Structure 1
Amino acid sequence: MKIEIKIDENCVDPKVLIVTDKVTDEINEIVKRLSGGQSQTIAGFQGGQVVVLEPEEIVRIYAANGKVYAEAEQGTYLLRLRLYEMEQRLANKSFVRISNGEIINLKKVKGFDLSFTGTICVSLSNGTVTYVSRRYVSRIRHLLGI
């Protein structure tokens, strides 16, 4: 494979052009990586083992007792990253912070209960019930269009 870079001072946004005789798996992988569509795996620790977690598997990420945990459908895993680092890492995914100590996956939400005064009750797909803190309520309402 040849790689060529052309410097053009008039170019505002970088542009990638792939010239090929046919679309192969290698070309598809390159396009996927360049478009940011690659899956970003996360290392979780459980019982002395390292488990690779895909962001789609994670229901919520929360802090407890000075540690950060990822709760997935198959169990709870200890993470070595801080909560704000996980928030940055998952920013372009379907994750949203609901309190100072918790981030949820919007694709794993069963429903929002707005009947509580000042907070929002969130039911997750694995049966966990959590709450949006008052500080983040307006952000969630805006995100949901309410």
Structure 2
Amino acid sequence: MKLTIHQDLAVHETEIIINCAHVDGRLRHLIELIRQHGFSLTGYQEGKEYQIPLEQIYFMDSADGKTFLYLEKEVYFCRDTLASLEEKLFHTSFVRISKNCIINTDYLKSVRPLYNHRLEAFLVNGETQIVTRNYIEVLKNKLKGENL
């Protein structure tokens, strides 16, 4: 792989162009990282508004009509719905695993099968989430690098 960087003070917006013969799994992952770099979500905590970079979010869930963003050790309220977040984050490392949860696959440590065709997902921060049967195939496709 060849990497060329052209630095020019006249450039107002960074543009990344990838020239390749075909897109393989490693390149898909690189594209995914580029897409989510610099993208953030607005979170609220104790009446204050914060811009939270995507790469800091481990998972998001919804309870009682409210959406929460979970970082390594902090939790923020988010005004977006899980459906709108799922749409915004489709081409990133985030994937919906149940009706009320979206995880960042960059923080997925392992999964194990459970009864009733479900999976238990283990995140690197020690959290566990249940992957319901309707979303198992979606998770598998995301991990294979599809839908990026």
User: How high is the TM-score relative to the length of structure 2?
Assistant: 0.72
User: How high is the TM-score relative to the length of structure 1?
Assistant: 0.73
Aligned equivalents of 2:143 and 2:51: distance in 1? 30
- Offset of residue 29 of structure 1: 3.3
Structure 2 gaps of 5+ residues are 1-5, 17-30
Report which stretch shifted further, 23-32 or 104-113: 23-32
The amino acid that maps onto 1:78 is F
- Offset of residue 115 of structure 1: 4.9
1:130 paired with 2:129, answer: yes
Structure 1 gaps of 5+ residues are 1-21
- Offset of residue 28 of structure 1: 7.5
**Identical-pair percentage:** 26
In the TM superposition, 1:51-130 aligns within 5 A as 51-130=50-129
Measured against aligned partners, the alpha-carbon deviations of 1:20-53 in whole angstroms (never above 9, x if no partner) come to xx73155383315xx9745211110011111110
Aligned equivalents of 2:118 and 2:106: distance in 1? 20
SS at match of 2:140: helix
Aligned equivalents of 2:51 and 2:86: distance in 1? 18
> 2:42–2:50: 8 Å Cα contact kept in structure 1?
yes
How many matched pairs? 122
1:29 paired with 2:13, answer: yes
Aligned equivalents of 2:60 and 2:98: distance in 1? 11
The amino acid that maps onto 1:50 is E
Report which stretch shifted further, 111-120 or 90-99: 111-120
Are residues 48 and 98 of structure 1, via their aligned partners in 2, closer, same or farther at CA, if it must alter by over 3 Å? same
- Offset of residue 56 of structure 1: 0.4
> 2:105–2:143: 8 Å Cα contact kept in structure 1?
no
Larger radius of gyration: 1
- Offset of residue 137 of structure 1: 1.5
Aligned equivalents of 2:99 and 2:57: distance in 1? 18
Aligned equivalents of 2:14 and 2:141: distance in 1? 35
CA RMSD between the two structures? 2.3
The amino acid that maps onto 1:30 is T
SS at match of 1:86: helix
